[in-house]
Amino acid sequence: MDDHARYIGRTAKSGELFKRASKVLVGGTTRTSVYFPPYPAFMAKGEGCRTVDVDGNAYIDFINNYTTLIHGHGFTPVVEAVRQQAGQGLCFGAPSEHEIRLAELIVGRVASIEKLRFASSGTEAVMYALRLARLFTGRNTVAKFEGGFHGAYDDCQVSYKLTAEHIAEAADPVTILNSAGLEAGVGDRVVVLPFNQIDVACAAIDAQADDLACVIVEPVIGAGGVIPADQNFLEALRERTAHHGILLIFDEIMSLRLGYGGAQQGYGITPDLTTLGKIISGGLPLAAFGGREEVMAPLDPTTGPPPIPQSGTFNGCATAAAAGTACMEHLTREALSHLDALGQDLKHGLEQLFRRTATEAQVTGFGSLFNIHFSAAPVEDHRGAARADQARVERFFQALLLRGQCIAPRGMICLSTVMGKAEIDGFIDAVADALASGEV
């Protein structure tokens, strides 16, 4: 029996739920990233770093809702905050004090943010950041990087995912639309830049500067393969954008977890705008965008109708803001040091294992966020990630699932503060076992 058959054998209830779901939900799910063939395991319960599916299979959760649950599942302070606020009203058509507390907390940590606004999803936060940049500069085009994922807004559905075929013949970088049905002209108003290539990226910025409103970049590319930017690359982007009056936007929706003040603190670089999401919500839908006061000012309704009106029924939802506050209050410097230490052990352990077993694989990332790539060549940008063996990483994911370890199908691994040495050792043992099985 192969891993595929074994998976089906132990997930009969998930298989039935998937059939039922497919009658009412297109393709049986409601989010492309959670589907994998033949069907995903449906989750019944999460506690700490463990989840249990509807068939009773237990997993150590190395996805944490795609990097959201930094304290794992059912973290008591978050659960208590939700319980308390829910008893007093889930959400209101009015502001609540929780929004202020969470905003104060973020402004106190992320040095570049003077003022912020909340949204319900990262997609919306990015959309508003781009809108603010266009208004502030009076320019129309935006620049993003190959492999940079910034959500579902039309302008961001460009070149976030490339395949080996895309890059085989195409020059670096290539503009492709990752979704059908986008507004006409999106490909023309989005400039795609190569990640970690200072000269090419800066030359393109210089050439397009007259109509460039902003450059948006993840300091550590997340969905595109967990690839950190080089220090001098980000410094060059800061210098070039400032020189031309172009806004520099750091999308830290995923990378905030990499430092007390986000990845930008570690790099020591101050963007004009920052987008946040995932961990700031404690696990409920909430995101944010913020930055220099003068850039954020067009949202201000106190002196007349704002040039950029911001709508959103669930913006700053009281319960989500309460959960987010509890989560972030407990993400102390000590908690982050704990994550860093676990992450170092994980990376070191995997690298040793790959060397010992002569496996052509490497681990990118740092802190609590990593990606395994089955590639012998160094992965320094999304092109490198796209060149890695995709079929093998999917088999690897499946093999780990059978061993009770849940990572993202694309090889992404994220840690939570409730993990310890036992979970890291257990993971490395499971990887060793999967590699030895001959199924990967």
Ligand X SMILES: Cc1ncc(COP(=O)(O)O)c(C=O)c1O
Q: Is 385 in the site for ligand X (CB under 6 A)?
A: no
SS3 245: coil
Distance (Å, whole) CA 186 – CA 158: 8
Of 40, 147, 151, 316, the one binding ligand X (CB under 6 A) is 151
Distance (Å, whole) CA 322 – CA 328: 10
Of 61, 251, 272, 423, the one binding ligand X (CB under 6 A) is 251
Q: Is 254 in the site for ligand X (CB under 6 A)?
A: yes
Q: Is 369 in the site for ligand X (CB under 6 A)?
A: no
The three-state (H, E, C) secondary structure of 63-85, written as one string:
CHHHHCCCCCECCHHHHHHHHHH
Instruction: Pick between residue 123 and residue 390 the one whose CB is nearest to ligand X.
Output: 123
- Please list, in sequence order, all residues whose beta carbon lies within 8 angstroms of the beta carbon of residue 166, skipping any fewer than 6 positions away: 174, 176, 386
Q: Is 122 in the site for ligand X (CB under 6 A)?
A: yes
Closest separation between CB of residue 121 and ligand X, Å? 4
SS3 164: helix
- Convert 182-194 to b/e letters by CB count within 10 Å (16 or more is b): eeeebeebbbbbb
The interface mask with ligand X, positions 391-430, x = CB under 6 A, is ----------------------------------------
Supply 314's token pair.
């669930």
Closest separation between CB of residue 6 and ligand X, Å? 30
Q: Is 149 in the site for ligand X (CB under 6 A)?
A: yes
Query: Interface with ligand X by CB under 6 A: which range of 56-64, 248-256, 342-350, 386-394?
Result: 248-256
Asked whether 81 and 323 are in contact (CB, 8 A), the reply is yes
Q: Is 260 in the site for ligand X (CB under 6 A)?
A: no
Q: Is 349 in the site for ligand X (CB under 6 A)?
A: no
Distance (Å, whole) CA 357 – CA 363: 15
Distance (Å, whole) CA 55 – CA 33: 21
Query: Interface with ligand X by CB under 6 A: which range of 37-45, 189-197, 207-215, 250-258?
Result: 250-258
Is the backbone peptide bond immediately before 38 cis, with ω within 30 degrees of 0?
Answer: yes
Identify which of 421, 414, 417, 427 has the alpha carbon closest to the alpha carbon of residue 220. 414
Query: Interface with ligand X by CB under 6 A: which range of 147-155, 201-209, 237-245, 324-332?
Result: 147-155
Angle between helices 421-436 and 333-356 (to 10 degrees): 20
The interface mask with ligand X, positions 197-236, x = CB under 6 A, is ---------------------x---xx-------------
Instruction: Pick between residue 213 and residue 287 the one whose CB is nearest to ligand X.
Output: 287
Q: How many residues bind ligand X (CB under 6 A)?
A: 16
Please list every residue from 32 through 71 that binds ligand X, using CB under 6 A: 66
Of 234, 253, 284, 331, the one binding ligand X (CB under 6 A) is 253
Distance (Å, whole) CA 155 – CA 365: 26
Closest separation between CB of residue 229 and ligand X, Å? 13
Please list every residue from 284 through 303 that binds ligand X, using CB under 6 A: 287
Asked whether 276 and 288 are in contact (CB, 8 A), the reply is yes
Closest separation between CB of residue 398 and ligand X, Å? 22
Instruction: Pick between residue 122 and residue 349 the one whose CB is nearest to ligand X.
Output: 122
Up-side HSE of residue 332: CA atoms within 13 Å toward CB?
4
Q: Is 126 in the site for ligand X (CB under 6 A)?
A: yes
Q: Is 29 in the site for ligand X (CB under 6 A)?
A: no
Supply 173's token pair.
């970088």
Instruction: Pick between residue 225 and residue 277 the one whose CB is nearest to ligand X.
Output: 277
Neighbours of 38 (CB within 10 A): 11
Q: Is 381 in the site for ligand X (CB under 6 A)?
A: no
Distance (Å, whole) CA 279 – CA 276: 8
Q: Give me the residues that bind ligand X (CB under 6 A), please.
A: 66, 121-123, 126, 149-151, 218, 222-223, 251, 253-254, 277, 287
